[in-house]
Amino acid sequence: MFVYKTVEEKAEEWGVTLRHIQYLCREGKIEGAVKRAGAWFIPNDAPSPVKNTKADGKSFKFVGTKKKIFENAIKLFTQRGYENVSINDIANSVSIRQSAVYNHFKSKQEILNTIYEFYSHNYISNRPCMDAIETVLQTGNPIDIVTKGFIYEFDESVLEQMSDITKIIMQRVTTDANATNIFQSLLLEEGISFVEDGLNRAIKAGKLAPVDTYIISVLVNCVRLYTLLWWMVSPSNEVRAKIAKDERALYEHVACLLTDLKPNIG
């Protein structure tokens, strides 16, 4: 007998937002998901959609030759463009035979797909978890909610790679369905719905007056994209310090607007 869970239950279990789970169901990306009476239901044992959750991080901890192939491919795709890089180019950059690349990846396309999955995984895993946000909601003020609840802190070990992969995605966003999907579903839809979910929780907890959380979430996500694009164009320590300062100032401005609304809570 199959046991199903609601999208709300699976969103909580997998650590992603309700809206994104619904999107994955519509796109057929969750195995066994069914729609009944207008609502989606997911098998209890359905595999986690790895590229959009914190699950299965071990699959990206490459070592040895595979790690060199992966890292050098990112550099080459960034510098020359995916279409202008061959498997032989990647092999030469690692000082191995072309045939040796196929011991680790079946094709150049598989390398690119793995790069996309690595990016999606780290984009999700480096943002605050809902448990941390719940703590801020219970103990913080509106400024804490915005500045501590929604700022991504990327691990130093992947920061440069994330910047390079963003360039690859932007190069291919109009020609590659996978790049388009990441930009639309992860950077835009998921980024907005993540903030919207947190703000709705804040309203429910009585920390904010009822506001148009979608519009505020769009604004917060625009700030995030601003910092991401700046870092992509010029990934230096000086620029990093500048955009961190700008990001903090912009978030505080949003928080002040929300603080002004706080007295309206009845």
pLDDT score, position 56? 43
Residue range 82-111: mean pLDDT, rounded: 95
The vertex-233 CA angle with 232 and 239, nearest 5°, equals 90
Alpha carbon of residue 75 to chain centroid: 21
pLDDT score, position 49? 64
Q: Is the pLDDT of residue 126 over 80?
A: no
Average pLDDT, the chain: 80
pLDDT score, position 57? 46
Q: Is the pLDDT of residue 149 over 80?
A: no
What pairs with residue 33 in β-bridges? none
Can you give the residue ranges of every domain in the chain?
4-48, 57-112, 126-264
Residue pLDDT, tens place only, 167-208: 999 999 999 999 998 898 888 888 888 888 878 887 887 777
Record the pTM.
Answer: 0.72
Fold (topology level) of 57-112: Arc Repressor Mutant, subunit A (1.10.10)
